[in-house]
Chain A
Amino acid sequence: MSDNFDALIAALPDLRSGVFITLQLTVGGVVLAFVIAIVLGLGARSPRWPARVPSRILIEFFRGTSLLVQLFWFFYVMPLFGIKLDALLCGVLALGLNYGAYAAEVVRGAINSVPKGQWEAATALSLSPVRKLRKIIWPQAWAIMIPSLANLAVMLLKGTAVAYIILMHDLTWETDQLRQTTGNTFFAYGVGMIGYFLIAYLMVLGANALERHAKRRLGQGPPKGGLFSVRITDKATAAPMPAANAGGGGAGAGGGVV
């Protein structure tokens, strides 16, 4: 066992660079996904078809084809069009587009679930459409969508392991290197999985704190479950599960099938 720990200590610099690649993919993917989610989510609920139809097509397209297909498309097909992307960029693009499409549905659902009276009140105060969205609707929708977005972010983190398939030296790759040096699968993969788990758990904690802050700004009580709880939502509709909606200080449905 002490041999294993010696090997682990020797492998620490490599593992650190693996974690760094994984984090780069995660952060890049999350940022891109968030931008795409807002653009497509707002587009998909636009009353004007030139905005709505392309948004819907993009959402269904990127949700419907597999992440690995999209990654391979950027990795193998784009160079044939003369666009040579670096592997990290391929990963960020594929992750951002794929999870951005899922998140767009969350954004759309959350905006739709802001009570109608809020829209009417903002109109009655003759706020401009942009101001209405930014100052009245978004803060409320934001508080609703955080748990679902956090779940998608954790899924995106797990999705970064596909980088291993295009031979990037991410945490999964370095974990496998550790297996080869120690010859102990259980030990090496235990280290790797705990690494992913810790990153995921930190993301959930961050999201819980964000949600708490967002609710406080709205004058609502803290969300149910406390800072350390992990809540699960349904990826496809990204609606919080019925049980999660049941109380939760006004944490209404985050979309459902609308």
Chain B
Amino acid sequence: MDWWSWDRALEVLPELLVAFVQVTLVATVIGSVIAAVLGLIIAITRRTAPAFIARPVHAVMEFIRMTPIVIQLLFVFYTFNTVDGMTLGVIVLGVHYASYMAEVYRSGIDAVPKGQWEAATALSMSPARTWRKVVIPQALRTTLPALGTWVISMLKDTPYLTVIFVVDMVRQAENYGSRTFVYTESITMAGLIFLAASYPTSVLLRRLEKRLATY
């Protein structure tokens, strides 16, 4: 019985890797940048803006966080049907994960000791300068590992882009399967590529967390 063929696995590997780099990695990197920047903006807004802005922002974030990314992708795809799928997908991933990263930043900002704020006030630093030079650098230090784990999570959510017809690595693996009627090698290899990308990253993050721990 021929359950596994290394020839097939090696044959499918190049196209999977191309899709991994062109779609999965690109979407993860750009999506992470969007999520990291937007998340920080949201976290700061929730701290500094008046309640009539901060509360709706919070409610929207909560809503995004509690609805599936698949349905968000479809919604955006059918609403903006002239924009290409990859662009929309990256934006949806970024906004979805921004709602998680905002919470990470928030707890990081809350963890900055009160004395730091008071010291900045005592030095008569402007609020903007206090955020930029005192609070955010310290908050980032404690949040970096947690942000990283969300990036890994996003990496593993990129296959959902397939619902808006972006051919990512997993769809590529499925296509290979429907071409050859053999799915075993292609889908297993896709899983192993994810594992190879995410496991070492999570080990590194764990080390980073130990190194950055201030207490």
Q: Which residues of A contact B (CB under 8 A)?
A: 60-61, 63-70, 72-73, 76-77, 80-81, 154, 157-162, 164-165, 172, 175-176, 179, 185-186, 189, 192-193, 196-197, 200-201, 230, 232, 234-237, 241-244, 246, 257
Contact = CB atoms under 8 A, between A and B. Distances in A.
A232 B103 contact: yes
Given A172-B68, A196-B71, A234 B156 contact: no
Interface string B177-215: 100001110011011101100110010011001100000
Nearest to A69: B191
> Majority SS of interface residues in chain A?
helix
Interface of B: 3, 62-63, 65-72, 74-75, 78-79, 100, 103-104, 106-108, 110-111, 142, 145-146, 149-150, 152-153, 156-160, 162-163, 170, 173-174, 177, 182-184, 187-188, 190-192, 194-195, 198-199, 202, 205-206, 209-210
Which of A68, A185, A242, A257 has its CB near the most chain B CB atoms (within 10 A)?
A68
Given A172-B71, A196-B66, 17 more contacts: A60-B199, A72-B173, A76-B177, A76-B187, A77-B183, A80-B3, A80-B183, A154-B66, A158-B69, A162-B70, A179-B78, A189-B75, A196-B68, A234-B104, A234-B146, A234-B150, A242-B107
A257 B208 CA distance: 11
Which of B67, B68, B170 has its CB near the most chain A CB atoms (within 10 A)?
B68
A154 B111 CA distance: 26
B70 A73 contact: no
Contact of A235 (B3, B149, B198): B149
A235 B108 CA distance: 16
Contact of B71 (A67, A73, A165, A189): A189
B111 A243 contact: yes
Given A60-B199, A154-B66, A164 B163 contact: yes
A197 B66 contact: yes
A208 to B, nearest CB: 14
B114 to A, nearest CB: 12
B106 A243 contact: yes
A234 B149 contact: yes
